[in-house]
Amino acid sequence: MNDTGCTIQTYCISKIVNTDFFLVLLGLIIEHYFMKIYTKQGDKGQTALFGGDRVSKHSIRIETYGTVDELNSILGVALANDHQAFTAEVINDVQHQLFILGTDLATPFHLDARIDRISEQEVYYLEQKIDYMEASLSPLKNFILPSGSMAGATLHHARTVCRRAERLAVVCSNQEKINDIVLKYLNRLSDFLFVLARYENHQSGCLENPWIPKK
């Protein structure tokens, strides 16, 4: 469409809707598509929590949800490799849950904020998927070495990052109030990722490599 056409279309829309509303809408569109990725607000080593409080980027709360973000990225790496359809389905669900978890941790618990917080529903989801996968896996008789397919090995890596996030969340909970379900969810998620790694390897035909201690 040429410039004249765009001008006529804009004029017509402005006549159909309230002019003030149209200008606000236009401003939001411009902000969405042309907003710069950098704000310079964190150049001095601080960042903002939901609600406006500014804290050090090295604070335990930031360390915790930063590690949750790291975990989410590693799950994306697992999907970048060959994987089973079931693995893609559940990872997609968990990645959405991790965004809820990150928002939860970024929002001080005392705030009466209308946000989604991690809940028993997400914990139940993980437990149901664990039970489903374990039904097709042989019981463990030894510790196993993290290995297998690229997707399976990446899921083992994700499990260790999840454990780190859990440890940081414990420290955070000892210093300030956070949602009680956060610790429960991360604990269950690490179990889920371990079983998912086994399930992915099993479905891909990769044999488990048991740890055999020296006698």
Q: What is the pLDDT of residue 142?
A: 85
Whether 56 and 62 have beta carbons less than 8 Å apart is answered as yes
CA distance 82 to 99: 24
Q: Residue 201: how many CB atoms within 10 A of its CB?
A: 24
Q: What is the pLDDT of residue 184?
A: 98
More confident residue, 214 or 111: 214
| Listed residue (85, 198, 91) closest to 152, CA to CA | 198
Q: What is the pLDDT of residue 22?
A: 52
Tell me the pLDDT tens digit for each residue of 124-171: 999 999 999 999 998 888 898 899 999 999 999 999 999 999 999 999
**What is the identity of the amino acid at 210?**
P
* Helix locations, 81-119, DSSP H: 85-105
Whether 67 and 164 have beta carbons less than 8 Å apart is answered as yes
pLDDT at 9 over 70: no
Enter the DSSP assignment of 173: H
Crossing angle, helix 85-105 and helix 181-203, to 10 degrees?
160
Tell me the pLDDT tens digit for each residue of 86-109: 999 999 999 999 999 998 998 888
Domains of the chain: 3-34 (no CATH), 51-203 (1.20.1200.10)
CA distance 65 to 104: 9
CA distance 153 to 144: 12
| Listed residue (41, 40, 39) closest to 55, CA to CA | 41
Tell me the pLDDT tens digit for each residue of 19-77: 555 555 555 555 555 566 666 555 556 565 555 566 555 688 889 989 999 999 999 99
Return the structure tokens found at 119.
């809940």
CA distance 23 to 125: 44
More confident residue, 84 or 119: 119
Token pair 């149901």 in the structure block, residue: 128
